[in-house]
Structure 1
């Protein structure tokens, strides 16, 4: 028999209780009926057996870390199909066939947990546009019935300490101050790195609990008429006699909204695909043109900067054109006419004699400044632009600032 095994096998051996313990390293192990992640502070689940020898798996709904979440996934997968499972943060066990007082209280808190869930589902149903929460409420009610049956909470029984424990529904129905303090101040989940276990007053749910109890809805199996009575519970608790008609109206409206949204999404997708197809055709068409043809189209404004670039090896890397009173470069920079006129006077000076060159700044239409780094062989270098004199003169002529 092996006690150090692969991680998934730890869960398998625990679920089938094939041996008394096993571990995978130090972060996932089981001892007897309990399986842990990273230590006894986090019990993933336990295999419990009641006085009648029936088995149930208590799987925690607590969360801790990503690794623990993976361990929890293995635990759930390892439980044999068809076994009774209670998903709960509560830890309840029998000791020599009896409950300790603490376990009895935790068993009662499980019922309150389920009633709180029912309250949340009913509130959600009032505004729901798509989801019918009837199944969730039915599951909660049936879980309570099965829980009571499994632990024998519907009977008077002696605790492991030798004290009498009353039927749990009787205690939860009591309005006596002591019972309210014990059973409706519910223990919460202990915070990480804290030894304090918080308590939360859940007495606001007692009225709903009593309503459900009066209707006889806590039962282990769905007997005849159960679904109709649950449906009526929704109606009465919501205060809306036409709750389900209103839900169907909201649902139909939401479905129509979803349909229109999906149609719009598909339409936008089709438009993007069509645009991509046209762009690809245009890209291929432009790729077949010579540089001179592209240059002519760009100067005329028929070709955008996106589709145009100057090939390397020409000495210059940018062209100029005039559009809407601005000079625009093929690299996407625009210069206002007044700034262009000032620069043109400098360029004429440099063109006549390159020794006249001096550093200056170009202010573009967005108020960014570009340094004029050099002027040689009738090529001006400003920032990343290299522009020929002929390009600058043609642009100046179009603006009417060249002689």
Structure 2
């Protein structure tokens, strides 16, 4: 199926056929658009501008695991060197002209990038390792390339026959109607569906003016571009020490990462050593009589918690106090405070089994175990059957029983 989907994506990318679908029918294209699971999710489209140049609009909307595979096929199928715009916006020309709705959607794509730039500048003030200058540079190049591809920098006639101004002139307009029309943006939902509601994003008008005043929207490389992007961060945050502070956080994070890596490695070494000692101890004690092994386990000299108790004894679990906690021979640990609460119940059941009632045991890993029964001085909790004498000895060692 993946081979068919891969071929399908290539047929779409090269526009060799007018339509097609994979065997399951959940990945298909019709003309310039390719979809995943239906028309609600457009993966990408092949668009042509007024000069006959081609570009691929690839959605940035979130998607499911299966759709993610479809998106990978789409990206891999796009020929190297082609113009690619990663955007959730769907923009097309009709006979070489914009419908007004597409012209406005093209403006929304610019505002999306302004919002991303603003978020990057804000995040840089707290960033510990991420340098957002490159991401902002890509957003600025996107805006420049987007305007150049669609001819948004010049006056043009729409498909409806009305004149459309340069999109930047529209976005910089102080006319209330233009602000309502272009800065109240139709959002794109995670399912790649245009939301009927609109969000007021006119707060980014100042950012657009600032970017234009610095001559940062360019379709080709310009002198000192990186330095001017750098300056944009400093001026927008109002922090002349922004990069000095960022470098200090980077060094601090690097040191933290180094310490954490050392700690993880030390823990791995300790785990391997504990396992080695446990294997050696088990091998050494396997030949001993059960009574002697039981004594050594209670004393903590046998490390393993999964200690076998002969079935003929009528119970299957022992208890010991180890490093301030109560451990069972089946590998469960209980904190001393919880052990004290349980001992009060067990001591009561020991005196009068008829008054048994169900309860829950909270282990050291915050897992709950049900106390199922108490009969013949043996408590059953989950898979554990523990004799009273074991519980009394553990309580005595904790100092909560005489």
TM bucket normalised to smaller: 0.7 to 0.9
TM-score by length of 1: 0.77
Q: For residue 372 of structure 1, what is the aligned residue in structure 2?
A: 376
Contact 1:318 1:329 in 2 (8 A): no
State which of 17, 20, 23 in structure 1 corresponds to 2:18: 20
User: How many angstroms does 1:108 deviate by?
Assistant: 0.7
Q: SS state of the match for residue 188, structure 1? A: strand
User: How many angstroms does 1:291 deviate by?
Assistant: 3.4
Residue ranges of structure 1 left out of the alignment (5+ in a row):
344-358, 374-380, 396-403
Q: CA RMSD in A?
A: 3.8
Q: SS state of the match for residue 45, structure 1? A: strand
Matched, 1:140 2:139: yes
Number of residues of Structure 1 aligned to a counterpart in Structure 2: 355
Residues 364-392 of structure 1, C-alpha deviations (whole Å, 9 max, x = no match): xx99773229xxxxxxx8878799xxx99
User: How many angstroms does 1:203 deviate by?
Assistant: 0.2
Task: State how far apart, in whole Å, the 2-side matches of 1:224 and 1:117 are.
Answer: 24
184-193 vs 267-276, greater mean Cα deviation: 184-193
Q: SS state of the match for residue 127, structure 1? A: coil
Cα gap change, 1:320 to 1:72, in 2 (>3 Å): closer
Task: State how far apart, in whole Å, the 1-side matches of 2:316 and 2:95 are.
Answer: 90
Matches within 5 A, 1:60-79: 60-79=59-78
Contact 1:101 1:159 in 2 (8 A): yes
Q: For residue 220 of structure 2, what is the aligned residue in structure 1?
A: 221
Residue ranges of structure 2 left out of the alignment (5+ in a row):
322-326, 333-338, 362-370, 394-402
TM-score by length of 2: 0.77
Contact 2:129 2:250 in 1 (8 A): yes
Task: State how far apart, in whole Å, the 1-side matches of 2:236 and 2:197 are.
Answer: 30
Cα gap change, 1:104 to 1:136, in 2 (>3 Å): same
Q: For residue 346 of structure 1, what is the aligned residue in structure 2?
A: none
User: How many angstroms does 1:288 deviate by?
Assistant: 2.7
Q: For residue 171 of structure 2, what is the aligned residue in structure 1?
A: 172
Larger Cα-atom Rg? 1
Task: State how far apart, in whole Å, the 1-side matches of 2:14 and 2:62 are.
Answer: 24
37-46 vs 132-141, greater mean Cα deviation: 37-46
User: How many angstroms does 1:270 deviate by?
Assistant: 1.3
Contact 2:61 2:189 in 1 (8 A): no
Task: State how far apart, in whole Å, the 2-side matches of 1:218 and 1:268 are.
Answer: 51
